[in-house]
Amino acid sequence: MRILVTGGAGFIGSRVAAAYREAGHYVAVLDDLSTGRPERLPSGCRFFRGDLVEADLSALLAEERIEAVSHHAAHVNVRASVRDPLGDARVNVLGTLRLLEACRGRGVTRVIFASTGGAIYGEPRGPSSSEDEPTEPVSPYGIAKLAAENYLRFYRAEHGFETVVLRYANVYGPGQDGAGEAGVVAIFAQAMLAGQAPVIHGDGLQSRDFVFVEDCVRANVVALSGPSGLWNVGTGVETTVSDLYHRIAAALDFSGAPRHDGPAPGEQRRSVLDGEKIRRDLGLPLYTPLDEGLARTIAWFRRRSATAVENGETGSMGGVR
């Protein structure tokens, strides 16, 4: 199959593109490199630098004879969406709509959409949020993702699209860039390796569902040939930010205390997903336990830090946000 991965130079998108290539598919990548990095691009992919709102998407689909799209390009920062709702909507709503229109015009009807489970439900009503829970996002980012999902529903009903919506929990793993993508695991690990005390927004008792990036990749691979539908990709395990801090500190032998500041605007108190439906429907294996995923992630950051020191790149680990 000939696949376009938007956001394919990003943390998740690049791994999805690599998995498609390993499965024998032809992969083209579109990324504006605002947060994506060229060095993440897997070998064998054809790269196009462009903005979803400005690029000639129809010509790209035609030139590359695309048959399916995995749509990961997005602004993913909740706090930034609160500061700039128009900028968030430009990419996450208008950009998505332009992509869908280009797909319709070129007869590309298979679309996999990377949505958010962490921001789309609002506060969970029970232990975790399942796919049939009401969607009550409290940030422009979550609102924009929900709007994109509704557009996908329209294109499926009106134009016969085959659509897969994957609502990710809080994704982490090797290669994440906390400086650009606001991943708390990456932010904490980078700070501690630099001997700095990370900042915890609020009291640290806010909780999240941390899902390992390779679990998201597997979901994208099976979704490529599976039925249309909407699925959470999350572990159902709730972890507080404070607990996460102490786990990472213990793994890195970091004895410093975190710094605290005020709660971040637009962020909810709890977020945890029921991820069992996708395992039942599509046969995904058990999710990676948090301790295992953190061990693999921290090992990657250790190697990256050691390489930076060897090369004299003292500023390469980025800032803490």
In DSSP terms, which residues pair with 112 in a beta bridge? Answer: 70, 164
Helices marked H in 120-174: 140-159
Q: What angle do CA 222, 226, 227 make, to 5 degrees?
A: 145
Q: Is 287 a catalytic residue?
A: no
Structure tokens at 171: 């994704």
What is the CB-side half-sphere exposure of residue 239 using CA atoms within 13 A? Answer: 21
Q: Put residue 318 in one of left, alpha, beta given phi > 0 → left and psi -120 to 50 → alpha.
A: left
The residue among 240, 115, 142, 245 whose CA lies nearest residue 188 is 245
Amino acid letter, residue 28: A
- Exposure string (b/e) for 123-162, b if CB count within 10 Å is 16 or more? ebeeebbbbebebebbbbbbbbbbbbbebbeebeeeeebe
Asked if 74 and 146 count as a contact pair (C-beta separation under 8 A), the reply is: no
The residue among 321, 24, 178, 35 whose CA lies nearest residue 6 is 35
Catalytic residue (choose from 20, 121, 141, 155): 141
The residue among 290, 211, 205, 209 whose CA lies nearest residue 251 is 290
The rounded distance, in Å, linking the Cα atoms of 78 and 85 is 10
Amino acid letter, residue 309: V
Strand residue runs (E) in the chain:
2-6, 26-31, 46-49, 68-71, 110-116, 162-168, 170-172, 199-201, 207-208, 210-212, 229-233, 239-240, 259-261
Q: Put residue 65 in one of left, alpha, beta given phi > 0 → left and psi -120 to 50 → alpha.
A: left
- The residues annotated with a catalytic role in the active site are 141
